[in-house]
Amino acid sequence: MFKFFLCKSRRASVCLTVITAFLCYLPLVWTTNIGIDTEQFILGLYGKNWLVNSLGRFGCYWSEIILNVGHFNPYFNGLVFLLLFSAAAVIWLYVFWKARKSSLNFDWLFPLVFFTYPLWLTQFYFTMQYSAISFALLLQGISFIMLISVIDDVVFKTNRVLLPIVILKSVFSVLCAFYAIGTYQAFPALHIAEGAACLILLFERIAEKADHNQANRLFWKSAFFVAAHFLLSYGLYTIVCRIMHWGTSDYLTINWGKQPAKDILYYLYQDGKNILLGRGDYTGWIMITCVILLALIWVMRVVLSSVKWKPVLKLDYTLLLAGNLLAGVILNFVIGSVAIDRARFPLFFSIAFLAVYSMSVCYSLFRGNVRKIIVVAGVAVILLSVFIQVHGFETCLYTMDVCNSQQYQTGADIVRHIEAVGGDDSSVIAVIGKWDAPLNRSCQKKGIIGQSSFNWDYTEDKPTSGTRRAVLYLDAAFGKQYSFQLDQDHIQKAISAAEQMPVYPSEGYVKKTDNLIVVKLSEVNP
């Protein structure tokens, strides 16, 4: 079946998926940029203790070992990432095809929308984990293939049911999902978005082929399997982490109960409005186009009853539409705030799927000139939005390159001046203040993109707080193993010395005081 899908049924969509992935992400294969946390990856500090014990990302850690990307080789790691990310998108096209049991006419929109969302780069900025993220996305696709196969066997009874085979498929499916959830904290939310997408496709199949007296029962049986699949996968992850004492850091802060509920709801409302209208960090008019098309579909199917559904099926469909619209931001509702940029890929998945689904249903629901108008207008708006996304995506890539080039030059200056005052690899370095990359006006900061390593950990109330990150960068970029272990005496000595020093790049911004070298990047508050 997969061979038929790959080579015959959706060959053009598969080819477009691979081409789009390579066009968008090939620069990440060739880049040698050293960003936040990448320096720790190079130095071997981003290992098991932090990934597994602190964050609970055992899937990320094991993926680095399995894929042989546990070391900094940007060309090899980038190639592995590119192949896995392309394969993951192809697998998800197959999941849609398998769930619907027929082709989605506009499934080629999925890679165009999904790959080009600019905020992806706030995740793939972290080169030490982008292969693992792609591998987890691929495993989730395989997990849902197995799940749909189980639903076909048990609910639809399309094959002869062999209990051992069904159990084997179920266990394998849960284990794949469990591994993906253990890779990154946003994957449970992505799992929910993927489950909502599969359910609405299963519903389409049920409503089209099943007797309407049985359709509601078949749908809820399918929904039970999808819900149980998530609960088992996430429950297993939670149990394992508790037994092993993994994931002790509060990476996703829950704001419910800590802030007034009305404030939280207002933040969520503002974010939803920005997503809908393509404002702020969001691009184009894809979501509002999907909402308009889905509203039109709902009116035709539920209000005007162009399809002779029973009231209970209309209610099911209404719930499914609402669920798919909310699934992409489920993480916001769970934590009670807007998720960080790099954890928002469940939203990218939902938007890309809804673009495919809304266009495909409109194509099959309408006829004649009405269909032509809707399809041409919808595709035109979505493709225009993709074009806007590509511009934002490429701007992020350019900003990353400019920032890295500028901070590399600054790092080279610092190393040269440290050596000029007699510093060596055994020197203790204290960095005072911060330095921001002087990005040109064509660049655009977005989340972590455009942030300097000489600024990232700096806080105004602690003048030397940027030392560790700055020294790690100098080690990763130039091989200079300076010490950043500062005691209180070092800190006070550095602050006192810095009072009479100019800031970078003025002559004298580096000064040796006894066994301490002070680097002053900016003025600090007294």
What is the predicted pLDDT for the residue at 249?
65
What is the predicted pLDDT for the residue at 118?
92
312: left (phi over 0), alpha (psi -120 to 50) or beta: alpha
For residue 520, the 8-state DSSP code is E
- Token duo for residue 135: 């591998």
Query: What is the helix (H) or strand (E) element at residue 209, kind and residue range?
Result: helix 187-209
3-class DSSP state for residue 446?
strand
3-class DSSP state for residue 261?
helix
Residues 6+ apart with CB under 8 A from 22: 82, 86
Residues 6+ apart with CB under 8 A from 135: 63, 66, 67, 84, 88, 183
In this structure, are residues 115 and 21 in contact, taking their beta carbons and an 8 Å threshold?
A: yes
- Whole-number Cα distances in Å, 244 to 16, 195, 237, 411: 43, 28, 11, 40
Amino acid at 109: L
Query: What is the helix (H) or strand (E) element at residue 363, kind and residue range?
Result: helix 345-365
Amino acid at 298: W
Cα separation, 362 vs 354, in Å, equals 12
What is the predicted pLDDT for the residue at 370?
92
Dmax (CA) of the chain? 86
What is the predicted pLDDT for the residue at 209?
75
3-class DSSP state for residue 309?
coil
Amino acid at 406: Q
- Nearest CA among 44, 49, 51, 48 for reference residue 72: 44
- Whole-number Cα distances in Å, 363 to 149, 357, 379, 497: 27, 10, 11, 72
- Token duo for residue 227: 């819900």
In this structure, are residues 466 and 521 in contact, taking their beta carbons and an 8 Å threshold?
A: yes
Cα separation, 159 vs 6, in Å, equals 22
First and final CA of the chain: distance in angstroms?
Answer: 70
What is the predicted pLDDT for the residue at 132?
95
Q: From first to last of the 526 residues of the chain, give the pLDDT tens digit.
A: 788 887 878 889 999 999 999 999 999 888 889 989 888 888 876 677 788 888 889 999 999 999 999 888 889 999 999 999 999 999 999 999 999 988 888 999 999 999 999 999 999 999 889 999 999 999 999 999 999 999 998 988 766 777 888 999 999 999 999 999 999 999 999 999 999 999 999 999 998 876 777 888 999 999 999 999 999 999 999 999 999 988 866 667 888 888 899 999 999 999 999 999 888 878 889 999 999 999 999 999 888 866 677 888 899 999 999 999 999 999 999 999 988 899 999 999 999 999 999 999 999 989 899 999 999 999 999 999 999 999 999 999 999 999 999 999 999 999 999 999 988 888 899 999 999 999 999 999 988 999 999 998 899 889 999 999 999 999 999 999 999 888 898 899 999 999 999 999 999 999 998 889 999 999 987 5
In this structure, are residues 190 and 170 in contact, taking their beta carbons and an 8 Å threshold?
A: no
In this structure, are residues 225 and 150 in contact, taking their beta carbons and an 8 Å threshold?
A: yes
- Nearest CA among 505, 349, 319 for reference residue 417: 505
What is the predicted pLDDT for the residue at 250?
63
What is the predicted pLDDT for the residue at 210?
66
pTM recorded for the entire structure: 0.93
Cα separation, 258 vs 235, in Å, equals 26
Cα separation, 299 vs 311, in Å, equals 14
Cα separation, 177 vs 150, in Å, equals 15
Residue 328 CA, chain-centre distance (Å), reads 12
Q: Are strands 510-513 and 516-520 parallel, antiparallel or unpaired?
A: antiparallel
Cα separation, 392 vs 85, in Å, equals 20
Catalogue the long-range contacts made by 3-9 (C-beta closer than 8 Å, 24 or more residues apart): 5/93, 5/94, 5/97, 5/98, 6/90, 6/94, 9/97, 9/103
Give the domain ranges of the chain.
2-365, 402-520
Cα separation, 274 vs 189, in Å, equals 20
Cα separation, 8 vs 441, in Å, equals 47
Cα separation, 161 vs 526, in Å, equals 75
For residue 483, the 8-state DSSP code is B
Owner of token pair 């050596």: 419
- Nearest CA among 60, 187, 232, 202 for reference residue 131: 60
